[in-house]
Chain A
């Protein structure tokens, strides 16, 4: 009963935050002068990328804990977070491509280091899910944990790629303090970031409950066969 109520509260808060974010993006925030209306894609694109990085950070930490303690709960947490991370990376890549076409006149400019390194990240974690879903060996969680840890090394590379290499990619959060966006744009971005983070939390709870049910099915099947 308590779990049901918590779920309802979390879903309600997330829905309200998403509605507020949509209002701010489409009705409140002013249109950016240089890029025009397509700049508004940024308010969904950046939070999608943020949630993807957050998901892979959870995979990274959970994988380390799994290798250290060999407790299945850490493997379950990593697997569920990787699934959500791949979804959000896909959405960040696709929304980025839609933004790039009118802005850079190309759907996917390969010379941009942030795009290419993000695609590499997506491929790494698709590989992670393939190992988990199609490997029949009992060592699959261990192999996946290694991929989960090594794959996360790409995240700081993505962040720093626009500083290390020549890139036209817009930088929202840079280490120096001279950069910045208008306060109204920052507020819209922050509300969107909070809404997407809440979405990650509710999706994680749902995916975790499904994964636990899958594990229970496997356990019951074993008990029937014995």
Chain B
């Protein structure tokens, strides 16, 4: 294995794991927001019906 290969691998891992963690966080945020939005829309509809 070439000298300093570990540093290249570490930088590669940091860049792409960084992106993956950011994407995962965004998807989790989107998932919880979708549920909250659906719940609130129902609540508003119910309030307007009353």
Q: Is the CB of B36 within 8 A of A99?
A: no
Q: Is the CB of B26 within 8 A of A216?
A: no
Interface of B is mostly: helix
Interface string of B16-28 (1 = CB under 8 A from A): 0011001100100
Of the candidates B7, B26, B36, the one whose C-beta lies within 8 Å of that of A217 is B36
Of the candidates A90, A98, A207, A221, the one whose C-beta lies within 8 Å of that of B26 is A207
A36 touches B (CB below 8 Å): yes
Q: Is the CB of A45 within 8 A of B33?
A: no
The size bracket of the interface on A is 20 to 34
Of the candidates B4, B15, B26, B40, the one whose C-beta lies within 8 Å of that of A220 is B40
* Complex contacts, B8 vs chain A, CB 8 Å: 37-38, 40-41
Would you list 18 pairs from A and B whose C-beta atoms are within 8 A, ordered by A residue? Answer: A31-B2, A37-B5, A38-B7, A41-B7, A41-B12, A87-B19, A87-B22, A90-B18, A94-B11, A95-B11, A98-B11, A203-B23, A203-B26, A210-B30, A210-B33, A217-B40, A220-B41, A220-B44
Q: 10 tightest A-B contacts by CB?
A: A220-B40, A41-B11, A98-B11, A213-B33, A95-B11, A44-B15, A102-B4, A38-B4, A37-B2, A91-B18
Beyond A44-B15, A95-B14, A99-B11, 15 additional pairs, beta carbon < 8 A: A36-B3, A36-B4, A37-B5, A38-B11, A44-B11, A44-B12, A90-B18, A94-B14, A95-B11, A203-B23, A203-B26, A206-B26, A210-B29, A216-B37, A224-B47
Hey, which bits of chain A sit against chain B, CB under 8 A? 31, 36-38, 40-41, 44-45, 48, 87, 90-91, 94-95, 98-99, 101-102, 199, 203, 206-207, 209-210, 213-214, 216-217, 220-221, 223-224
